[in-house]
Amino acid sequence: MSEHNIQLHLPGILKLLSEHLYSNPHIAVREILQNAVDSIRRRQIESGWQGDPRIVIHLGERTLSVSDNGSGLTHDEIMDYLATLGRSYTGDMRARHQDQTLIGSFGLGILSGFIVADRLTLVTRSYQSDDVWQWQSAGDGRFSLEPAQRDSTGSTLTLHLKAEGEFLLNRALLADLIRRYADFLPVPVFIGSDRINRLHAPWHQPSDVEAYRQYIVDQTGEVPLSVLPLRSDGVPLSGVVYVPAGGVLSINEFGDAAVYIRRMFITAEETGLLPRWAKFVRAVVESPALNPTASREQVRRDEAFYRVQRAIERQILVHFETLAAEQPAVWRSIVLEHNDLIKAWALESRAFFDAVCDIVTFETSRGRLTLPEYLDLADGVVYYFSDGGSATQEKMLYEASGLPVIDASRFAEEDFLMLYERIRPGVQVRQLEPGSDYLFHDPGETDAAWENIRRYFADQNIQTRLVSFEPAAIPAILVFPPGSDDVARARSALQSGEVTGPVAGFLEEYIRLRDPDQRTTRGTLHVNVNSALMRQLCALPPESEVFTAALEIIYQNARFFAGRMLTTHTARTAFDMITFSVQRLVESVMDGPR
């Protein structure tokens, strides 16, 4: 066996890192400003310098220059750090001094300049020496180093811009990028003589809740419903959590957090720091405990990440509990404003569910009600339906019996009601299904004539029950068991050939278990013995054209009224049967006088 050294092609590595490490050319602005801030902080730490720190950007003709009055670099430091890919003086110094204000870690920041420039020139003078050096590279794996002139301590990095990097010469765009990435950096950043960044957020200095609220208003243009300043809690943490006004239910909704690490902006869309159940809130989070990825565009999901996540969750729960106890009007407005989304995500946390379950509202046949308000009307029983297509039929049935009913057809509402039943002793949750004795009543002994109606539907393979229910004006109702639409969809997918292989086998087994006699998707026809029309039909001979035509129309109408899923073919067949039956009735009437 022989061993060999791996050969590195430096120009290719530089191209990979500068063009593919970072997803957006705007990142070059952040990386260069970060290097300048770290240089200033280094001068303060190592020399005790207490001067006036600043970063000044000058726009030229196809050049952008960034000057700082930081520590500068000696000849040896240039050779050690700018000539060594991946070695970071800042990272080494943070480890030595345990200083969390230093930002850099990877020694890659200057490479970002090659995203927008084809040549970089650095003129630097160290606080440790009067020597001035000019370092220059075109990103081809080589650099030049020679003496230069500079009157003051610090560095100036000049980017000789590519054509695709000239967007940085747009002053307004550049100012926006500075505010995005460097708004909270503790060093003022100027374009010419104009300072661009604000330097501090409310959590960087003593601030009351109103200062945090005003910050959210300035950032979003909206007044938040509630504001929670974050604090260290077993992990260094600051920032703000807020509840925005308004909410739209979406199963793809995420609670986004903007993240800063050591005052440097990382991302506006971190979806993992907020609790899963708190997707109706937003946050700005800053913590030196968080670790960025190499490109500093995302946060690493490590143990520190989850410690911060847990600390945020604890503080949000305490905040909501305090609001509920001390500011119930504010808490109620939050819950009602984000009603649907809160119901969906409350299932993720029992503590949060307990805090909201009696405040959220549901759409009912008596208007929007909380569950306690509803239970007062329904004697401790929750009646609901979960299929929005059958809303008209079910509301009518319940109201005719003097019962309010909840429309639980929206996402997660049925599960919400099931959990409510489990944690509330004495509360019962009921869904309309065949045989529901609170709506359909056993008529007792019936006249033999009703057997003709039962037999007719049995011959059509239609499962039938003779019951009495209100309103009496309705001759028959078709009722499906819960989950029948799921079975229908599964059967439709199999019949259409949309699924094959193991998935098809799974669906076949599901259908076999849920619908062994293939009656689930046909429903049960509940014939109303209180109906005057049905009683008239009982008096007709079963061979009568009117008898069979009328029963066919009654059944097909019940199918449409049930609001269940019908295929195009099934709906067309139903219409054809109604039309045919009406024609028979018309013919019977026309033949009568003759």
Residue 167 has pLDDT above 50, yes or no: yes
- Would you state the torsion angle of the CA atoms of residues 475, 476, 477, 481, taken in this order, to the nearest 10 degrees? 160
pLDDT of residue 251: 42
The pLDDT assigned to 402 comes to: 86
Say whether both 185 and 256 belong to one domain.
no
First to last CA, the chain: 111
Q: Mean pLDDT: which of 267-271, 520-524, 586-590 is highest?
A: 267-271
Is pLDDT of 508 > 70?
A: no
Residue-level pLDDT at 160: 96
Q: Which domain-ending residue is among 195, 215, 247?
A: 195
Residue 127 pLDDT > 90: yes
Give the span between the Cα atoms of 555 and 235, in whole angstroms.
67
pLDDT on residue 1: 64
Domain stops at, among 431, 461, 494: 431
Model confidence at 125: pLDDT above 90: yes
Q: Is it the case that residue 502 has pLDDT exceeding 80? A: no
Tell whether the model's pLDDT for residue 264 goes beyond 60. yes
> Are the CB atoms for 112 and 22 separated by under 8 Å?
yes
* Calpha distance 452→138 (Å, rounded): 95
116/51 same-domain check: yes
Residues 263, 236: Cα–Cα separation, whole Å: 13
Question: Within a domain: residue 5?
Answer: no
- Side chain identity at 592, as an amino acid letter? G
* pLDDT score recorded for residue 375: 94
Q: CATH number of the domain that 53 lies in?
A: 3.30.565.10
Question: In terms of domains, do 32 and 162 share one?
Answer: yes
Per-residue pLDDT at 510 exceeds 80: no
Return the pLDDT at 222: 87
Q: Report yes or no on 238 lying in a domain.
A: yes
How far is Cα 592 from Cα 594, in angstroms, rounded to an integer? Answer: 6
What mean pLDDT is predicted for residues 323-344? 86
Domain that holds residue 170: 11-195
Number of domains in the chain: 4
What is the model's pLDDT at position 238?
A: 96
Query: Which residues lie below 8 Å from residue 76, measured CB to CB, with a gap of 6+?
Result: none
pLDDT at 173: 95
DSSP assignment of 336-393 equals HHTHHHHHHHHTT-HHHHHHHTTT-EEEEBTEEEEHHHHHHHHTTEEEEE--GGGHHH
Does 372 sit behind a cis peptide bond, omega within 30 degrees of 0 on the bond before it?
no
Please check whether residues 191 and 206 belong to one and the same domain.
Answer: no
| pTM score over 0.75 | no
Calculate the average pLDDT of the chain: 83
Which pLDDT belongs to residue 568? 78
3-state SS assignment for residue 147: strand
Band (pLDDT 50/70/90 cuts) for residue 102 is very low
Q: Is residue 317 part of a domain?
A: no
Regarding whether 156 and 30 lie in a shared domain, the answer is yes
pLDDT at site 248: 46
Binned at pLDDT 50, 70 and 90, residue 53 comes out as very high
* CATH for 474: 1.20.120.790
pLDDT cut 70: percent of the chain above it? 80
| Inter-residue contact 534 to 473 (CB < 8 Å) | no
Q: In angstroms, rounded to a whole number, what is the distance separating the alpha carbons of residues 3 and 1?
A: 7
Residue 320 domain flag: no
**pLDDT tens per residue across span 128-152:** 999 999 999 887 778 899 999 999 9
Residue 335 lies in a domain: no
CATH number at residue 379: 3.40.50.11260
Residues 6+ apart with CB under 8 A from 541: 547
Helices 484-496 and 501-514, packing angle to 10 deg: 140
Rounded Cα distance between 423 and 255, Å, is: 27
**DSSP one-letter code for 432:** -
For helices 27-47 and 171-182, give the axis angle rounded to 10 degrees: 60
59-65-71 Cα angle (round to 5):
150
Secondary structure (DSSP) of 60-119: -SSEEEEEE-S----HHHIIIIITSTT--HHHHHHHHHT-TT----SS-GGGGHHHHEEE
397 and 422 inside one domain: yes
Position 489 confidence tier, pLDDT thresholds 50, 70, 90 = low
- CATH for 218: 3.30.230.80
382 close to 429: Cβ distance less than 8 angstroms = yes
In angstroms, rounded to a whole number, what is the distance separating the alpha carbons of residues 103 and 32? 12
Q: Are residues 227 and 286 in the same domain?
A: yes
Which pair of structure tokens corresponds to residue 163? Answer: 């054509």
Burial (CB < 10 A; 0-12, 13-18, 19+), residue 15, is middle
Cβ neighbors of 506 (< 8 A, separation 6 or more) are none
In this prediction, residue 398 has a pLDDT band, given cuts at 50, 70 and 90, of confident
Handedness of CA 23, 28, 32, 33 (dihedral sign): negative
Q: Is 151 in the same domain as 230?
A: no
Residues 291, 371 within the same domain: no
Strands 257-261 and 282-286: parallel
Poorest-pLDDT segment among 70-74, 275-279, 311-315, 361-365: 275-279
From 6-20, 171-185, 197-211, the region with the lowest mean pLDDT:
6-20
Of 431, 459, 489, which residue is a domain's last?
A: 431
* Of 66-80, 166-180, 412-426, 471-485, the least confident: 471-485
Mark whether 411 and 458 lie in a shared domain. Answer: no
Question: Which pLDDT belongs to residue 90?
Answer: 52
566 lies in a domain? Answer: yes
Which of the four pLDDT bands, split at 50, 70 and 90, describes residue 437?
confident
Q: Are residues 403 and 461 in the same domain?
A: no
327 within some domain: no
- pLDDT attached to residue 250: 43
pLDDT per residue as tens digits for the range 14-47: 555 555 555 578 888 888 898 898 889 889 988 9
Does one domain contain both 167 and 220? no
Assess if residue 103 is contained within a domain.
yes
Does the pLDDT of residue 103 top 70, yes or no? no
